[in-house]
């Protein structure tokens, strides 16, 4: 939704002449003008240009531009967006040409609205000395190309000069949250498919009262590539017997714990755990609960030290219970849950003592085959209540397939190195 201040109002600047009769500052504008007036930017300089360049028409066919992505590397991280030539062929062709020529390298995201939009691509922003002119360059090269696309999360659209629908060019903006109020006004030519958290982080940097970014976030490279083939998840169609061949190695700040999968007891729980582990969901996660001689617990996103990516968060869902009468003895892994038997998601515990009172109440899915001494040591850290006083973290979880290191001495088929995941 657009950013709002007060009932029925949208906060945004009016470019050229600002509300209140002064240049600079924020203004409350009617809902009809929307957040988009932040993007209707620019310059008396651009408006007064005596010679307008010829409008760009791409020599590329729509079929030649289909199945392409832009990989945008920035000083804050990388995001990737699909190009949409069916929606705006000339905008896509223009972006491809300029990206291949290196036109975006060294430009910045010079204007931001926190969790609203980020705006960049102005060639003038390569020069810090021209800060006062940021937002005025690279326009008036494209006719508007409206389509049925909507400004959903991650939409990439062309920036326009005020009152000039055919003024698109090098500058573009990316929606850090849905901005459907902009529909029907701007040419949509892309949509982020990876790295939306990077876009959101850029949107959250400090800005002045005009929305100008105080931090210089630079585009270091834009590459055009063919859309990769979908990654094959090896766990989706695996049988319980196949899932049982996997091992997970928890690399903690106190040492490694290797776990075998008990997929014949809880196949869907094991499948879910392996998918989360291979996707990095458990990386940088604290052991947030320690009960001496009983359990150590980790895996909760609440206790993750870095935010989940959009792709990681999409993997999390509740699990149907797969309870068995398997004894909860030292070394057994089970899924943690709330009062609802079907409320388990990511959090799990390792028994460090006899936990027989938990039998047939939690889904047992794994067993420690190496590193039980590490689990026991974690269970002995000082606690306040059940909260460790010393932070112990799962740095990452490596998923291997085949006989584990504890039995063969060899590390086999690491998921992620084989190209399958």
264 and 381 co-located in one domain: yes
121 and 192 co-located in one domain: yes
Please check whether residue 7 lies inside any domain of the structure: no
Domain count, the chain: 2
Structure tokens, 237? 């169609």
pLDDT value at residue 287: 98
pLDDT value at residue 37: 53
Please check whether residue 31 lies inside any domain of the structure: no
213 and 258 co-located in one domain: no
96 and 220 co-located in one domain: yes
Edge-to-edge strand ranges of the sheet holding 285-286 = 285-286, 393-401, 246-252, 255-261, 364-370, 332-335, 348-351, 295-298, 289-291
Identify the domain boundary among 226, 250, 268: 226
Please check whether residue 250 lies inside any domain of the structure: yes
383 and 250 co-located in one domain: yes
Q: How far is CA 245 from CA 235, 260, 262, 279, 314, in A?
A: 11, 8, 9, 18, 26
349 and 256 co-located in one domain: yes
CATH number at residue 68: 2.40.100.10
Q: Count CB neighbours of 290 within 10 A.
A: 25
Please check whether residue 6 lies inside any domain of the structure: no
Identify the domain boundary among 203, 226, 249: 226
250 and 383 co-located in one domain: yes
SS3 at position 394:
strand
Structure tokens, 271? 């499948």
pLDDT by residue for the chain (421 residues), tens only, comes to 333 333 333 333 333 222 233 323 333 444 445 455 555 543 444 444 456 678 999 999 999 999 999 999 999 999 999 999 999 999 999 999 999 999 999 999 999 999 999 999 999 999 999 999 999 999 999 999 999 999 999 999 999 999 999 999 999 999 999 999 999 999 999 999 999 999 999 999 999 999 999 999 999 999 999 999 988 888 999 999 999 999 999 999 999 999 999 999 999 999 999 999 999 999 999 999 999 999 999 999 999 998 888 889 999 999 999 999 999 999 999 999 999 999 999 999 999 999 999 999 999 999 999 999 999 999 999 999 999 999 999 999 999 987 544 333 333 344 443 333 3
pLDDT value at residue 46: 42
85 and 193 co-located in one domain: yes
Please check whether residue 221 lies inside any domain of the structure: yes
Please check whether residue 317 lies inside any domain of the structure: yes
Q: How far is CA 6 from CA 24, 181, 396, in A?
A: 21, 17, 44
Please check whether residue 391 lies inside any domain of the structure: yes
Contact assessment for residue 267 and residue 363, using Cβ atoms and an 8 Å cutoff = no
196 and 254 co-located in one domain: no
pLDDT value at residue 39: 52
Length of the chain: 421
Identify the domain boundary among 226, 249, 283: 226
Q: How far is CA 5 from CA 12, 29, 31, 247, 259, in A?
A: 10, 10, 11, 52, 52
Whole domain around residue 273: which residue ranges? 240-408
266 and 211 co-located in one domain: no
Please check whether residue 413 lies inside any domain of the structure: no
173 and 66 co-located in one domain: yes
- Cα angle vertex 402, ends 400, 405, to 5°? 70
Residue found by looking up tokens 């968060």 in the block? 313
111 and 72 co-located in one domain: yes
Query: pTM here?
Result: 0.69
SS3 at position 369:
strand
pLDDT value at residue 405: 42
Contact assessment for residue 93 and residue 59, using Cβ atoms and an 8 Å cutoff = yes
């Amino acid at each position: 939704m657009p950013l709002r201040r007060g009932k029925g109002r949208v906060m945004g600047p009016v470019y050229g002449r600002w509300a209140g009769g002064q240049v600079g500052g924020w203004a409350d504008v009617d809902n009809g003008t929307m957040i988009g007036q932040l993007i209707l930017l620019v310059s008396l300089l651009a408006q007064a240009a005596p010679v307008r360049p010829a409008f760009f028409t791409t020599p590329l066919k729509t079929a030649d531009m289909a199945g392409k992505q832009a990989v945008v590397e920035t000083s804050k991280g990388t995001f990737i967006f699909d190009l949409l030539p069916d929606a705006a062929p000339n905008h896509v062709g223009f972006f491809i040409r300029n990206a291949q020529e290196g036109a975006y390298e060294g430009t910045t995201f010079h204007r931001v609205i926190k969790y609203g939009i980020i705006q960049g691509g102005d060639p003038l922003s390569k020069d810090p000395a021209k800060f006062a002119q940021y937002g005025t360059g690279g326009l008036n090269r494209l006719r508007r190309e409206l389509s049925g696309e909507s400004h959903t999360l991650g939409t990439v659209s062309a920036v326009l000069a005020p009152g000039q629908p055919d003024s698109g060019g090098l500058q573009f903006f990316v929606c850090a949250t849905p901005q459907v109020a902009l529909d029907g006004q701007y040419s949509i030519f892309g949509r982020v498919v990876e790295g939306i958290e990077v876009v959101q982080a850029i949107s959250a940097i400090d800005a002045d009262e005009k929305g100008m970014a105080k931090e210089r976030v630079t585009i270091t490279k834009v590459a055009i590539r063919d859309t990769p083939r979908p990654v094959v998840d090896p766990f989706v169609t695996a049988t319980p017997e196949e899932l049982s061949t996997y091992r997970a190695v928890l690399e903690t700040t106190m040492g490694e714990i290797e776990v075998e999968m008990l997929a014949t007891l809880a196949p869907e729980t094991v499948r879910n755990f392996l998918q989360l582990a291979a996707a990095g969901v458990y990386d940088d996660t604290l052991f947030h609960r320690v009960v001496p001689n009983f359990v150590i617990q980790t895996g909760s996103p609440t206790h993750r030290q870095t935010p989940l990516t959009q792709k990681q968060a999409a993997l999390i869902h509740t699990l149907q219970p797969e309870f068995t009468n398997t004894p909860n003895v030292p070394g057994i892994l089970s899924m943690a849950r709330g009062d609802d038997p079907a409320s388990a998601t990511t959090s799990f515990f390792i028994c460090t003592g006899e936990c027989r009172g938990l039998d047939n109440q939690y889904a047992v899915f794994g067993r420690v085959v190496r590193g039980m001494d590490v689990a026991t040591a974690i269970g002995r850290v000082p606690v306040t209540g059940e909260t460790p006083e010393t932070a112990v973290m799962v740095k990452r979880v490596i998923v291997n397939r085949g006989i584990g290191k504890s039995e063969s001495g060899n590390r086999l088929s690491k998921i992620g190195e084989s190209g399958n995941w």
